Structure 1
Amino acid sequence: MIYLLLSILSSTIIFVVFRLYKKFGINTLQAIIVNYFVACTVGFFGYIDGSDFTHVPNESWFPGALMLGFLFIAVFNLAAITTQKSGMSVVAVATKMSVAIPVLCGIFLYNESTGISKIIGIILALVAVYLTSIKTKEGISIKSKNLIFPLLVFLGSGIIDTSLKYLETSYVSETDVGLFSSTIFATAGLIGTIILIGQAFMGKLKISFKNILGGIALGIPNYFSIYFLVLALRTKGFDSSTIFTMNHVAIVTISTIVGILLFKEKLIRKNWIGLGLAILSIILVANSAI
């Protein structure tokens, strides 16, 4: 359980860093790309035994890590497009509701335990993440022509979590968790660098030192959010559907509380209801695992 708590804490720090990006006018794309290389470096030099990385391409999990690295940067760009066309709330809902994909896969593909308490908790969790993500009384509105973008964000985010579970279960040894995580970030960083090179050729690239600092601030907790999540998925006695549900809902809950305390966010009634349901869902899901 300690690994799950550390992953939640790391993800909450990511939320705080993203909020500070807006305050200091940091270019999110540049910071994100720097963050991938920082996260990769943290893993390579802090959590990997030995220094010979030449065998990485021969690892059975290597193709999966490449795919995840591509998905990381692809989902980020899709989220940016969705924000421009439909607003931040739509992105928040699509990203957080994607927890339904790994939860359902855990139950149906891995025959994980189910029960009334767990099922009710999962349903309440989905309702909670929706209500806490809505920042207007009117809810969200998406034009039919733009529906494809949040749908892709939803699918991409869900596939990332589901793939993490599949790869750590089938291919990643306990000693390779750090190397596996770093390879994902390295792939995402390299793809992001190609994007920046393209911007440079088009004369649209302007690198700022504050963007690099922003990437460093994000990269450290980002690495640990994945590293500890993979370790949490290995916790005996806890199904992946339980881990993913508690992880997503706890991040939503704590991030909302942090937003109120640090950034003076104002919550509407829907948000407060969602916050209450989130806490209740965590209790129900956690209780089902005991």
Structure 2
Amino acid sequence: MIYLLLSILSSTIIFVVFKLYQKYGVNTLQAIIVNYFIACTVGFMWFIESTDDLIRIPSETWFPGSLFLGGLFISVFYLAAITTQRSGMAVVSIASKMSVALPVFFGIFIYNESTGFLKLLGIVLALAAVYLSSIKKKEGLKIKKKNLIFPFLVFLGSGIIDTSLNFLENFYVSETDVGLFSTSIFAVAGVIGTLIIIIQAISGKLKLSWKSLAGGIALGIPNYFSIYFLVMALRSPGFENSVLFTLNHVGIVLASTLVGIVFFREVLLRKNWIGLVLAIISILLVANSQ
């Protein structure tokens, strides 16, 4: 349970950092790329004890998975940026958070986890809570048909990330390698991000700023631990994976919404309050369904 709570806390801090990006005009792409290197550095400092750990990374069975996830991390971010520009932040928020449906589906149908009434009801309420909590306008969501592909890809990519983390944790990553595995993912994303920056520099589109560096540092630390603690939570006894992913996503929605109210003076619509109530109910149902 402690790892789950720490993962939710880390993800909530990420929410706060992104809110501050908006306030201080941080270049999100640059900050995200810096963040990957900071996250990677955190992993090196905390979990890599010798050069032998680095040398054996390419020979580990989970290494291809870390390459895949590193590429997917930055790809989903890029798609999220496009979606935000074309359809708004709420659409991105809903697409990424509703992606919990994919690891839950795999947990139930691939890993043969339980499907009790309380659990299924809790999952349905959790999805409704995510949707209602994320809509910040009375008129709801407005997405042009030509732009539907982008939130769908964010949904799919985010779901694949969680599902892949679950799969690799179950079959390939040992408990002693969780830190090394997480570090490798961020290292791959950082390398890809660097290539993007180089391309921008060559094309004359690059304008680095200290805000990007500061923003990347602020994001990198909680970002690393959000993944590390999530993987550790998946390894811990107590909850099935489908339950854990549901609790994690809904917990983040609940915590980030409360932080928005308290620290950013966000005003909630009636549907947002309904979403919060459903979030609490879904947590109680899912947590007590086993």
Residue pairs, 1:28-47, within 5 angstroms: 28-47=28-47
Shift of 1:169: 0.5
Inter-partner Cα distance in structure 2 for 1:43 and 1:30:
20
Residue pairs, 1:83-98, within 5 angstroms: 83-98=84-99
Inter-partner Cα distance in structure 2 for 1:154 and 1:21:
23
Shift of 1:236: 1.1
Q: Secondary structure at the match of 1:136?
A: coil
Residue pairs, 1:227-266, within 5 angstroms: 227-266=228-267
Shift of 1:48: 3.0
Partner of 1:81: 82
- Which range moves more in the overlay, 179-188 or 46-55? 46-55
Inter-partner Cα distance in structure 2 for 1:130 and 1:210:
32
Q: Secondary structure at the match of 2:142?
A: coil
Shift of 1:43: 0.8
Partner of 1:62: 63
The code of the aligned residue for 1:249 comes to: V
Inter-partner Cα distance in structure 2 for 1:48 and 1:129:
37
Shift of 1:51: 3.2
Partner of 1:27: 27
Inter-partner Cα distance in structure 1 for 2:205 and 2:238:
51
5+ residue gaps, structure 1: none
Identical aligned residues as a percent: 72
Contact 1:164/1:230 (<8 A) preserved:
yes
Inter-partner Cα distance in structure 2 for 1:48 and 1:254:
32
5+ residue gaps, structure 2: none
Inter-partner Cα distance in structure 1 for 2:39 and 2:4:
19
The C-alpha deviation readout for 1:206-250, integer Å capped at 9, x for no partner, is 111121011011000000000000000011131110110000000
The code of the aligned residue for 2:116 comes to: G
Contact 1:106/1:112 (<8 A) preserved:
yes
Partner of 2:168: 167
Shift of 1:9: 0.4
Shift of 1:137: 1.3
Contact 1:61/1:180 (<8 A) preserved:
yes
Inter-partner Cα distance in structure 1 for 2:90 and 2:131:
9
Partner of 1:11: 11
Inter-partner Cα distance in structure 1 for 2:261 and 2:223:
22
Q: How many residues align?
A: 289
Q: Secondary structure at the match of 1:70?
A: helix
Partner of 1:268: 269
Partner of 2:212: 211
Q: Secondary structure at the match of 1:55?
A: helix
Shift of 1:274: 0.2
The C-alpha deviation readout for 1:35-84, integer Å capped at 9, x for no partner, is 00110111111123433201111110000000000000000000000111
Partner of 1:196: 197
Inter-partner Cα distance in structure 1 for 2:48 and 2:262:
37
Inter-partner Cα distance in structure 2 for 1:12 and 1:89:
16
The code of the aligned residue for 2:191 comes to: L
User: What TM-score do you get using the length of structure 2 for normalisation?
Assistant: 0.98
Inter-partner Cα distance in structure 1 for 2:24 and 2:138:
29
Contact 1:48/1:176 (<8 A) preserved:
no
The code of the aligned residue for 1:51 comes to: T
Inter-partner Cα distance in structure 1 for 2:89 and 2:225:
25
Q: Secondary structure at the match of 1:111?
A: coil
The code of the aligned residue for 2:120 comes to: I
